[in-house]
Chain A
Amino acid sequence: MSLGMTIGIDIGSTTVKIVVMRYGEVVYEQYERHYSQVRPKTLELIQLAKDVIGDHQFTVALSGSAGLGLAKAAELPFIQEVFATGETVKKFAPDTDAVIELGGEDAKIIFFTGGLEERMNGSCAGGTGAFIDQMATLLDVTPEELDTLALNSEKYYTIASRCGVFAKSDIQPLLNQGARHEDIAASIFRAVVDQTITGLAQGRRITGKVLFLGGPLFFFKALQREFVRALNLSHDKAIFPDMGRYAVAMGTALYAEKSGSPMNYQQLVNAIEGAVSDNHATRTLPALFENPDEYAAFCNRHDKDTVDVYPIEEYTGDAYLGIDCGSTTTKLVLTSEDHRILFEYYAPNRGNPVQVVKEQLELMWEKCGDRIQIKGSAATGYGEDLIRNAFGVDSGLVETMAHFKAARHFSPDVDFILDIGGQDIKCFKVRNNSIDSIMLNEACSSGCGSFISTFAQSMGYDVREFAKLGLFAPYPVDLGSRCTVFMNSSVKQAQKEGATVEDISAGISMSVVKNAIYKVIRAASADELGQHIVVQGGTFLNDAVLRSFEMELGRDVVRPAIAGLMGAFGAALHAQELGLERSTLITGEELKTFVHTSKSTTCGICGNHCNLTVNSFGEGKKFISGNRCERPLGNHSAEILPNLYRYKLEKIRALEPGTGKRGKIGIPLGLNMMENIPFWHAFFTELGFTVVLSGISNRDTYIKGQFSIPSDTVCYPAKLMHGHIAQLLEQGVHDIFYPCLTYNFDEKRGDNHFNCPVVAYYPELLKANVEELSQENIHFIYPHLAIDRRKDFANRIYNILWNQYPDLSLGEVRRAAKKAYTFYDQWMADIKAEGARAIDYAREHGHQIVVLSGRPYHIDPEINHGIDRLIASFGIVVVSEDCVADLARELPPDVHVLNQWTYHARLYAAAKYVTTQPDMELVQLVSFGCGIDAITTDEVREILEEGGKLYTQLKIDEISNLGAVRIRIRSLLEAVAERRRAHERV
């Protein structure tokens, strides 16, 4: 039976789409953003279609992530959206090989030929329509303008494509460095493409005729361009159909033809109207405020913590300027001799902080007239260097210090400071008047201020208004405390369960707070924090956040009225402490001729090819950013300090491929191979092979292999292995050796000597996912071996290799094994000796030492992103954990967990040793996704803190920006210096 008319309604995470079909042809289509008002918007769209529907009988079906709940409540047929897309493709484009569909928050791929497969993005993936919207907001443009910008790009920046949060922390510094918006825009679209390909294709190549569907792919020409480029599609193979946005709705309409019972317009309207889901969000929290009186009392209490303001027009005398150029906002404070505020500014930096500061300085100078002399100025925050260079600011200080100085002004006996800014959460404990421990959020716990504001915007509210809504919400929803991506889907779920905007607003405030307490501070109770807690940062101006924090802690805290300006205020205090006679700050007169241009270029000095941004401020004044070392700044003469990371890498680079009679054998240079390579190199060279290494990783290595990565949450070092295999194949190698090592060398340090599961078995994964390894002419040799068993290693590997190389003799293999062990032992001893030399050098020349602790593969520059060089640029000698681990043999660390992995045991030993050395600090490198480091980080921290040392953790992933790392390192150095000064005072 056919009624002739069917209706499909697709309710995604951001939009509602409706399609009316008659006899299989689309006669009406419409779409609109729903701003989470799912039911009313759907109703609205149906009402708009009233004329088209008329008196016809029809069948209807719903689809989409937000359509599920509505369909259930309205008792209408529902079809999973990927399936709906399939219906459409089958009918309208049957020769399609693959479909890529991007929606608001979902990304999907459907493969048709060669085995149907449908995939959706996993839970840890962001790059979708909502992500593009967020990025547009960050650049202060509309999504359409972002597209136009991208089409005029000249180059690309590397932006992490794993998830929205990561990408954002790559983009923000680029903005602050003054990179061209056109290039950033194009890089954003490219990141979305990379994300889709790695996250979804997962080892399956996208070829043939590809259909691109969904709103973003319909609207954004730049996104289309990037996809076509990345997939290398010819024009007749990349199809961007007009129906792109409506594919799901159309499929739903097609599906409706064979499902559901006929109804008419009024019946449909009634069904949707009556579909009020009665179940309230299951996880709710107590309300922030029960009544307005409670709120008033709360406000009164906090109003006491203010700074006096003095009208600038009436002031005559000296003044001090502090500028805090943060990741999303720029703050200026001008203070009088007695710390009163004469002038203040707080606003988003709209992606161009230089312009914002320039405007404000003009305004300030105008107000100052001749009465006020600026005697000192200081800058802090992400854009510190840029602002200092642009405007001749006298001094700079790391933001943690700026915040500490400001907090101490309000509460001299402060013992805990929590700052939640736009993009950062910073907390520090204070003991003996100096910073005792610093905790900063990781990219993956960035539930901060900018999250709330972009969220508010996406729901159609101004951030202040949005925050206020939550104050009296009766049932705040519990949104969890993980990353923003998870929060997004928690919000979606809450909405489906009928939570109101008020409840969501309050819930978001609470989740930001929980994120800070449990993920960043990792506190179990309020007492761990301290007695005198000062909270600051723009986010705490939001009363809902402040209240949530007090509720969660069960304790009152101090929030200065200038919470958002604390960094700038601290900088102003610092400027005053400088005690300068004259400030070098740009004058009002000079500002009139101030010009700022920026251009991007690639540094060619070393193989790293940093993306540099050159800012020019007229009169030959220049500021270069984006560099990892001093060399592009023309600073060639800088002393080259010992650096074990560099040393180890160069040692590997110097390995020569022998010219053997047995032909080539390829070894991928990553993960544990970074350390085991001398062993295997010696072994195979001795056997008469030409050992071909895949080379040191770079970004291209990753790109080459990204197609075959099956798990998007595995660590970056593992992901790189796919590229290393590709690089070996490129070099024409047919035999590749990469053994599975459950057990590592036994260094007699822990309870066992395992490798982690990923290191141990990645070869198995490669075999199963890299197609080329199963080709006829490729021999991928990946036996399970125990290199720790020196006695019978040779016999075992002989039995394995014999299959492939029947001419090998056991004697040969035994000799080679012996040689390999000797070479490996010498190699490791040499590294330890070099470590000792480095330490001696440092002590002789008065350098501080940082033990940069990680895994052997962290020496890979594509994995550490040049962090070792960055640390060295502060005049620090960098040694690695393996060099010092042995020095602590006499005092084994007290480890409270199972100490059973070779690499990780070194961390504990190194940490213990560092606690005995006054001139050493430890910085731990942690790869994102490393499950074992969830255990080691807490232990290392404990060992260090028990020994009176500061703990610094740097989480690394694909991310290539070092802004946050720089802040951490500087904070560490500052805190150490502070402590030393405090110590000397005593």
Chain B
Amino acid sequence: MRGSDDRVIFTKEMKKDYTILVPTMLPIHFKLMLNILREYGYNCELLENTGKAVVDAGLKNVHNDTCYPALLVIGQMIDALESGKYDVNKVALLITQTGGGCRASNYIHLLRKALKKSGFGQVPVVSLSIGGLEKNPGFTLTPLMLDKIFYSLLYGDLLMLLNNQCRPYEIEPGASEALVEKWARRLTMGMKGKGLISYKQVKQNYRRIIADFAALPRRKEQKVKVGIVGEIYVKFSPLGNNDLEKFLLAEGAEPVVPGLMDFCLYCIYNLLMDHKLYGIISSAQKFAYEKAYRWLVRKQADVIDAIKEQGDFRPGGYFPHTVSLTRGYIGHGVKMGEGWLLTAEMLELIEQGIGNIVCTQPFGCLPNHIVGKGMMRVIKERNPQANIVAVDYDPSATRINQENRIKLMLANAVAIDQAHAAGYDMPKYTHPEEGTMPAQTTNPLPGEEEQYQMLIKM
């Protein structure tokens, strides 16, 4: 990478008075992580600018056939720089970077190119990645910080999960979100100070958080659950997926979003696969990664166990189990982009009884041709209850088109639920004889009225 030698370095002096702008991806997680950075003297700000101006800035500055997340992230940053809100000689940009054969590993370079093109060549870009970091003297993550960031990630996943399972049923609108806010504040406070975090404390926090959410007054009904999987940015970021979670909530569904921890574990697992398949890393490295992997798996298991222990909520799966699900579907050598994990997440959702899935991807996403759309046929073949819709996101793809397809999936979901309620194994239409379908029975089934109401609303 010869061109990067002339990149603008984030120096120690800059740390003093520069504002670091961070694009949004996972609202809850990022909030926690930014608080930690602030604690260590970095002046950070989460970008919350959205809408047309962001897309336009992206279209102007990035090749329009580049993936949508790059266009949005870069658009969001340049729009912020152009907004006049910041002193453009006193800001830096932080971008997360994944490596590997997917073109997403090029975001940071495209961002630098775009900055140059739009006259912000002086703005330093700091990359944050799980693999090796570009060296920036002014931006270093100490082991202590990493420790805290790691826990904020686990907390973030937990809060997201609980919020998703409470929000659709909360009696007082906004109560669940308020609880997330409350805990974000409290956890940040808890992570202040110099010392290592006490893991005992962390586990206690899990239990408290879960108890708090469990105490939230909720309706007893069961809504249609819809899993969201996909390319990591579009899957998580409301800006990327046109507020998909909100849309699903408004449609009377409960969104289920597998957490970020799985992705981190996936990245480490892939390093181990590199060893197994190709012998790329040394045995010493392998030993270290294996250790890290096992450690992370245990940490994730502790969260899951805490949720199970309380009993009100559905946890995600243990990672080693998630890994095992792809057997017979896709090889673990598929490691570009979301790779085999995306397939695994769909399978895990189905296993948990959540057959309704929105698979989100940027228009023309390369890995998703294989691991998303490419796997749907076999998944459906072997899991007839699977009801998956692939939705493409793109600067010009219209919301109406996306929503119409999601609605079709939801309509199917309701039909499948009805069939189940009536004791049929297969979805609608498989037994077309008169009188066999629930919709045609004379005595309405319990809950049917409600489900019709939902259909009507759609």
Contact = CB atoms under 8 A, between A and B. Distances in A.
B458 A784 contact: no
B16 interface: no
Nearest to B386: A115
A492 B278 CA distance: 51
Given A115-B427, A714-B369, A900-B101, 12 more contacts: A80-B407, A118-B412, A123-B402, A202-B373, A283-B52, A486-B394, A761-B371, A765-B374, A897-B106, A897-B110, A898-B106, A931-B66
A492 B331 contact: no
A427 to B, nearest CB: 16
A768 B399 contact: no
14 contacts: A78-B458, A90-B437, A116-B430, A118-B412, A123-B392, A487-B396, A493-B401, A522-B64, A713-B364, A757-B366, A760-B101, A768-B374, A896-B112, A897-B113
A757 B380 contact: no
A37 interface: no
A823 interface: no
B15 interface: no
Contacts of A782: 331
Nearest to A94: B432
Given A115-B384, A259-B452, A482 B395 contact: yes
B330 interface: yes
A895 B363 contact: no
Contacts of B365: 931
Contact of A710 (B52, B374, B400, B430): B374
Interface string B406-426: 011001100100000000001
Contacts of A70: none
B59 interface: yes
Interface string B321-354: 0000000011101111100000000000000000
A283 B396 CA distance: 12
Interface of B: 1-4, 52, 59-61, 63-67, 100-103, 105-106, 109-110, 112-113, 117-118, 277-280, 329-331, 333-337, 363-371, 373-378, 380-381, 384, 390, 392, 394-402, 404-405, 407-408, 411-412, 415, 426-430, 432-433, 437, 439, 452, 455-456, 458
Contacts of A518: 59-60, 64
Given A482-B396, A768-B329, A117 B380 contact: yes
Interface of A: 65, 68, 77-80, 82-83, 86, 90, 94-95, 112-113, 115-118, 120, 122-124, 202-204, 258-260, 283, 478-483, 486-487, 489-490, 492-493, 496, 514, 518-519, 522, 524, 710-711, 713-714, 718, 740, 742-743, 751-752, 754-758, 760-762, 764-765, 768-769, 782, 784-786, 789, 792, 796, 892, 894-901, 929, 931-935, 937-938
Nearest to A741: B333
B458 A932 contact: no
A508 B100 CA distance: 40
B323 to A, nearest CB: 16
A754 B426 CA distance: 43
Contacts of B377: 202-204, 710, 768-769
A830 to B, nearest CB: 28
A900 to B, nearest CB: 7
Contact of B336 (A258, A283, A751, A761): A761
Contacts, number: 254
B366 A756 contact: yes
Given A764-B330, A765-B369, A784-B333, A123 B455 contact: no
A718 B106 contact: no
A493 B380 contact: no
Contact of A761 (B334, B381, B426): B334
Q: Which 10 pairs, one residue from A and one from B, show the smallest C-beta to C-beta distance?
A: A784-B333, A480-B396, A754-B101, A934-B65, A482-B396, A896-B3, A94-B432, A765-B374, A786-B278, A486-B396
A899 B66 CA distance: 16
B363 A86 contact: no
Contacts of A78: 456, 458
A757 B370 contact: yes
B73 to A, nearest CB: 15
Contact of B60 (A524, A742, A934): A524
Nearest to B63: A934
A83 B405 CA distance: 12
Contacts of B408: 80, 82-83, 118, 120
A524 B52 contact: no
Given A80-B407, A490-B398, A524-B117, A935 B103 contact: yes
Contacts of B371: 761
Given A898-B109, A900-B105, A258 B452 contact: yes
A974 to B, nearest CB: 27
Contacts of B66: 931, 934-935
A740 B101 CA distance: 13
Contacts of A124: 363, 392
Most buried by B among A478, A482, A761: A761
A938 B63 contact: yes
A757 B60 contact: no
A758 B370 contact: yes
A257 to B, nearest CB: 10
Contacts of A112: 429-430, 432
B402 to A, nearest CB: 8
- Which of A113, A203, A762 has its CB near the most chain B CB atoms (within 10 A)? A203
Contacts of B374: 710-711, 764-765, 768-769
A740 B331 contact: yes
A931 B63 contact: no
A751 B396 CA distance: 34
A895 B1 CA distance: 7
B61 A524 contact: yes
A764 B334 contact: yes
Contact of A65 (B392, B404, B411): B404
Contact of A931 (B117, B364, B396): B364
B5 to A, nearest CB: 10
Nearest to A96: B432
B400 A492 contact: yes
Contacts of A740: 331, 333-334
B381 to A, nearest CB: 7
A743 B336 CA distance: 11
Contacts of A120: 404-405, 408
A752 B101 CA distance: 9
Contacts of A896: 3-4, 109, 112-113
A938 B102 CA distance: 18
B331 to A, nearest CB: 6
Contacts of B65: 931, 933-934
Contacts of A762: 370
B144 to A, nearest CB: 31
Given A768-B330, A896-B113, A931-B365, A522 B400 contact: no
A483 B401 CA distance: 15
Contacts of A95: 432
B103 A932 contact: yes
Contacts of A79: 411, 455
Given A482-B395, A761-B370, A768-B375, A115 B432 contact: no
Contacts of B427: 115-116
A617 to B, nearest CB: 43
A259 B456 contact: yes
A112 B378 CA distance: 17
A626 B102 CA distance: 39
Contacts of A743: 278
Contacts of A784: 277-278, 331, 333
Contacts of B392: 122-124, 713
A514 B67 CA distance: 19
A220 B403 CA distance: 30
B370 A68 contact: no
A757 B365 CA distance: 10
A118 B411 CA distance: 11
Which among B52, B63, B430 has the highest number of chain A CB atoms within 10 Å? B63
Nearest to A86: B429
